[in-house]
Structure 1
Amino acid sequence: MTSSSDVIEEAPKANDTPYPSATLGGEQKRSIEQITLLLFITVPFLALVAAVPLAWGWGVSWLDLGLLVFFYFLGCHGITIGFHRYFTHGSFKAKRPLRIALAVMGSLAVEGPLVRWVADHRKHHKFSDAEGDPHSPWRFGETVPALMKGLWWAHIGWMFDEEQTPQDRYAPDLIKDPAIRAISRQFVYWTAVSLVLPPLIGGLVTMSWWGAFTAFFWGSLVRVALLHHVTWSINSICHAVGKRPFKSRDRSGNVWWLAVLSCGESWHNLHHADPTSARHGVMRGQIDSSARFIRIFELLGWAYDVRWPSRSRIDSRRNTPDDGSRGRKAGAEAA
């Protein structure tokens, strides 16, 4: 697996690729892909808003809660381990069955086609918090109104702009893989699977339509909405606030209270200081469940050539007091 920077430098020009698109036309505003994204962002969000009063009124069963938690962390680790650390950054190499499984798991998170996700994220790292970054919260300036507008853009607005990331330039390695390309193009199918499995399980366990309905509400809609907003918070919140113990050329910060729900992704400062590292939470007490699973995959022989950060590598990326002062002056760090 090559690194993201290698992919960007060696990729062919957009018109030279012999491979078909790996999405359903995401380069246009009203494509099937973007209409599907809009639908499955809006509906789960409305369910999330309704969750508190509904839970107060008729409660949530242990089965519903179990389905929510299981499918949440299944999709979350599919994104963090699969889409992000493996496919985007090449933090480890995976045997073919694990490679396919991670592609499917990440697709169940309903965050868009795999190839588009990876291409956008590689571009984000190339231009992080500078002109060309698809989703920097600093896009419109540093005043409070500009930052509020930028946070909205980084969190969700950027996904409905015209596609600015040429996938054949930023993710040619994935487009060349027929299985990965197929999974990416089947985004709508995997969305349906993700939403149907919880009510199917809930209905079969309870042998009732009501059990299927509540499982769909909690295990599908609320789960997807919660995962969406936690993931998008890495784009928005973690590039606006947080501690910055490591050197990076952008405004990425560590936000501790998102660590568990983001499966370790909110230790974002180290990630931008060392993007190919398989572990993001490298300091004492920093929970990083994604790194734990990668370690398990390695022990089982499913993953290999894992890029674990050495102590010397970590120390070489630490900020000096002067670095921290410059970061605060630039508005890059907030308590």
Structure 2
Amino acid sequence: MIAKTVSNPYIHRLQRRHFLLFDILPIIGTAVAIGFLWVRPFGALEFGLLFGLWLITGLGITAGYHRLFTHRTFKATGWVAALLAIAGSMAGQGPVISWVALHRRHHECSDQEGDPHSPNLSGDGWRGALRGLAHSHFLWMHRHEYPNVVHYAPDLLKDRSLVRISRLYYWWIVLGLAIPALIGGLVTLSWTGAVSGLLWGGFVRIFVLEHIVWAINSFLHMFGTRPYDSRENSHNGGIFALITFGESWHNNHHAFPESPSFGLQWYRLDPGYWLIRLLAGAGLAWDLRMPSESRMAAKRIQLAP
């Protein structure tokens, strides 16, 4: 029988290293970027690099890591899938196969024992709530049981291209840092432009995107609206839909994890789904499996009169 999780000193050393490199270092890099404003002010170049890389890597996470690889909500051509996996890798949130295994484990045990990052298992009262938020938002990544990819992601392990991309994870992060540094240096023809590009398009971008994603794990499992019945404590935070690429329709997603649209209705902002529809319109994605109106109606929570 295949073990569902793996926990040993070697795995914990890897987790600690990743935590320091890609969770703590971006905080330091953001502080350095603020200090570097004395050398080079924040301008159009910095904004463009921050926004552009944030958009690319954020869409890589939501459309690639989450909707395509974890939940198989649509199918895509091989090169599109590879680009989404590489873009998601540059976000610094873990190799694609590991990320998928963790997220499938989260859905299996959501807000129950075994959930890697639930905010609702740390005790009662405001102290328990604060401990839970700190754990689910940030601290859980330092050390946790590692979901066995053989159990949780056997389909991805059969994809040789995806396995190769996953193994090159650290190189994709280096690429995600090198691109803004190179652009900044070439545009300004100066070392200050290169450093500023590295800081704002690299470290600050990783810091911003990480905390947006982590807030879904933490705050949206405690606060927000719940239009649909689901066994865990997921909530929607529609006001944050744009900056989360549609991920903040979190209750919708937990109620219908097979749906490529997290907003479910056309008028709900969902940039991740917009990208998938754009790919489908170009013939690069297909088999989008939306829940039926009757299924959504059956799961809708009826408010008391």
TM (norm. structure 1) is: 0.85
Residues 1-335 of structure 1: matches in 2 within 5 Å?
13-14=2-3, 28-31=11-14, 34-49=16-31, 55=37, 58-283=40-265, 285-321=267-303
Q: Which amino acid aligns with 1:289?
A: P
Distance 1:100 1:27, change over 3 A: farther
Stretches of structure 2 lacking an aligned partner (at least 5 in a row): none
Distance 1:26 1:120, change over 3 A: farther
Residues 149-205 of structure 1: CA deviation (Å, up to 9, x unaligned): 111111121112143311110001111211111111211111111111101011011
Deviation at 1:26, TM superposition (A): 9.8
Q: Which amino acid aligns with 2:257?
A: P
| Greater displacement, 307-316 / 151-160 | 307-316
Find the aligned partners of 2:124 and 2:37 in 1 and give their Cα distance: 39
Q: Which amino acid aligns with 2:153?
A: A
Residues 260-315 of structure 1: CA deviation (Å, up to 9, x unaligned): 11100001010001011111112474210011110011111111101123433322
Stretches of structure 1 lacking an aligned partner (at least 5 in a row): 1-11, 16-20, 326-335
Instruction: Give secondary structure in 1 for the equivalent of 2:12.
Output: coil
TM (norm. structure 2) is: 0.93
Distance 1:293 1:173, change over 3 A: same
Find the aligned partners of 1:247 and 1:303 in 2 and give their Cα distance: 30
Instruction: Give secondary structure in 2 for the equivalent of 1:261.
Output: coil
The answer (yes or no) to whether the contact 1:27–1:162 under 8 Å persists in 2 is no
RMSD: 2.2
Residues 99-123 of structure 1: CA deviation (Å, up to 9, x unaligned): 1111111101110111110001001
Q: Which amino acid aligns with 2:13?
A: R
Instruction: Give secondary structure in 2 for the equivalent of 1:233.
Output: helix
Deviation at 1:141, TM superposition (A): 2.2
| Greater displacement, 44-53 / 153-162 | 44-53
Deviation at 1:98, TM superposition (A): 1.2
Deviation at 1:81, TM superposition (A): 0.4
Find the aligned partners of 2:172 and 2:106 in 1 and give their Cα distance: 25
Find the aligned partners of 1:26 and 1:189 in 2 and give their Cα distance: 25
Distance 1:155 1:282, change over 3 A: same
Q: Which amino acid aligns with 1:257?
A: I
Corresponding pairs, count:
303
Distance 1:54 1:255, change over 3 A: farther
Q: Which amino acid aligns with 2:233?
A: R
The answer (yes or no) to whether the contact 2:11–2:146 under 8 Å persists in 1 is no
The answer (yes or no) to whether the contact 1:256–1:267 under 8 Å persists in 2 is yes
